[in-house]
């Protein structure tokens, strides 16, 4: 598995071809729905790593295996990154039932989705649960939401990050809200109240999932079981309502679009009517893997580009 992840990360042309073949096979052969894929996001200091540690402990106590993809930002000037600092899963390295891989976001190469998506695809067939942990800085929430089935936003009470989050218009992305540090009492309840209030403002189609706002404490264990249950319930509801298939498909389309745009730029995409045109084109071609889609649509763009020359 570590080798497969190394391969998926490798930029040398001959290894890229091997990696594409591997990912292509995984997309085709992995059973649906497979392991639940859960994103954990929140501002620095919100305690999401400690909370994730608590979740992992519960799952391990039940004998279930867990893989974690932890994404940290890269420096834009040096390309360097500090990874793993947030991971407080103490038992991880000596427990074969827990696998942790940290990744740098490498902003200059188009965000977290590529590396993290490959990581999820490789780990999901092997572990019972896959978590993707990212630092919430606006952009990453919308990216991570396209590679997970359930997105959990971890809020810390009274830190102001909740207000910023609401202001940034990101409130419709998470499926579950966990207000951490419930042991702080009143201030945590107040933050939960603000979040619930903001959620009520948004219009929602009938029968749609209502994101719960849970009070949790990684410190004393409050609400950890309830959070696991909310994640499970969201996954089950998505499967029952056939939304999961659509969500995974939408995530796949996002990835294809990102790769095409990286390869051909906006001028290339414009040949098929811009991002919207490509999306429409994608919606018509179901059943193929992302790599096949990138190749097929890429070929169309290239031939269009040749014609205009």
Partner 1 sequence: MSPSDPARRDRPWVFRTYSGHSSARASNELYRQNLSKGQTGLSVAFDLPTQTGVDSDHPLARGEVGKVGVPICHVDDMQALFSGIPLDRMNTSMTINATAAWLLALYVAVAERTGADPHALEGTTQNDIIKEYLSRGTYIFPPGPSMRLISDMIAYSVDVMPRWNPINICSYHLQEAGATPEQEIAYAMANALAVLDTVRARSDVPEDAIPRVVGRISFFVNAGIRFVEETCKVRAMTGLWDELTRDRYGVGDAKLRRFRYGVQVNSLGLTEAQPENNLIRIVLEALGVTLSKDARCRALQLPAWNEALGLPRPWDQQWSLRIQQILAYETDLLEYEDLFVGSRVVEARTRELADAAREELARVLAMGGAVAAVENAYMKRQLVASHTERIRAIESGEQKVIGVNAFTESEPSPLLAGSQSVLVVDESAERAQIESLRAFRSRRNAADVTAALRGLDEALASGANVMPPSIRAAHAGVTTGEWSDVLRKRFGEYRAPTGIAVRGETRGPEAVSVRERVHRISDQLGRPLKLLVGKPGLDGHSNGAEQIAVAARDVGMEVVYEGIRLTPAQIAHSARDEGVHVVGLSILSGSHGVLVLDVLEQLRASGCADVPVVVGGIIPEDDARKLRSAGVRRVYTPKDFDLTRIMGEIVDVVAEARAVAA
Interface residues toward partner 1, by CB under 8 A:
1-3, 5-6, 9-12, 15, 44-45, 74-75, 77-85, 87-88, 90, 92-94, 99-102, 104, 106, 219
Measured from the CB atom, the residue of 46 and 271 that comes closer to partner 1 is: 46
Q: What are phi and psi of 132, to 5 degrees?
A: -120, 115
Measured from the CB atom, the residue of 80 and 202 that comes closer to partner 1 is: 80
Measured from the CB atom, the residue of 104 and 256 that comes closer to partner 1 is: 104
Residue holding tokens 């939401």? 145
CB 132 within 8 Å of CB 120? yes
Taking the C-alpha atoms of residue 148 and residue 254, their distance in angstroms, rounded to an integer, is 12
CB 145 within 8 Å of CB 173? yes
Question: What is the per-residue DSSP string for 228-261?
Answer: HHHHHHHHHHHHHTTHHHHHHHHHHHHHHHHHHH
Nearest to 66 by CA among 52, 82, 48, 85: 52
Measured from the CB atom, the residue of 109 and 305 that comes closer to partner 1 is: 109
Taking the C-alpha atoms of residue 8 and residue 22, their distance in angstroms, rounded to an integer, is 8
Measured from the CB atom, the residue of 15 and 243 that comes closer to partner 1 is: 15
Q: How far is the CB of 14 from partner 1 (least distance, A)?
A: 9
Q: How far is the CB of 160 from partner 1 (least distance, A)?
A: 12
Q: How far is the CB of 299 from partner 1 (least distance, A)?
A: 26
Taking the C-alpha atoms of residue 24 and residue 288, their distance in angstroms, rounded to an integer, is 9
Q: How far is the CB of 10 from partner 1 (least distance, A)?
A: 4
Q: How far is the CB of 307 from partner 1 (least distance, A)?
A: 35
């Amino acid at each position: 598995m570590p080798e497969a992840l190394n391969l998926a990360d490798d930029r040398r042309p001959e290894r890229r071809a091997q990696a594409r073949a591997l990912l292509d096979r995984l997309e085709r052969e992995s059973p649906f729905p497979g392991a639940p894929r859960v994103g954990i996001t929140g501002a620095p200091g919100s305690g999401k790593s400690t909370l994730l540690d608590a979740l992992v402990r519960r799952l391990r106590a039940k004998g279930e295996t867990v893989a974690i993809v932890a994404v940290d930002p890269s420096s834009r000037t040096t390309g360097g990154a500090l990874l793993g600092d947030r991971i407080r899963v103490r038992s991880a390295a000596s427990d074969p039932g827990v696998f942790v891989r940290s990744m740098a976001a490498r902003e200059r190469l188009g965000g977290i989705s590529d590396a993290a998506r490959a990581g999820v695809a490789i780990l999901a067939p092997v572990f019972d649960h896959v978590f993707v942990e990212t630092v919430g800085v606006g952009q990453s929430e919308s990216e991570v939401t396209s590679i997970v089935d359930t997105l959990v936003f971890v809020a810390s009470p009274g830190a102001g990050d909740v207000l910023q989050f609401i202001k940034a218009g990101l409130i419709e992305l998470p499926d579950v809200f966990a207000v951490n540090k419930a042991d702080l009492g009143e201030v945590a309840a107040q933050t939960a109240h603000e979040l619930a209030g903001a959620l009520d403002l948004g219009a929602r189609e009938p029968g749609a999932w209502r994101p719960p706002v849970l009070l949790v404490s990684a410190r004393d264990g409050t609400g950890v079981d309830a959070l696991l249950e909310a994640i499970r319930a969201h996954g089950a509801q998505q499967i029952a309502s056939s939304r999961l298939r659509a969500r995974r498909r939408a995530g796949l389309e996002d990835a294809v679009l990102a790769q095409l745009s990286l390869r051909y730029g906006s001028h290339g995409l414009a040949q098929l009517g811009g991002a919207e045109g490509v999306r429409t084109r994608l919606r018509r071609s179901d059943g193929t893997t992302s790599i096949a889609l990138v190749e097929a649509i890429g070929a169309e763009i290239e031939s269009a580009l040749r014609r205009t020359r």
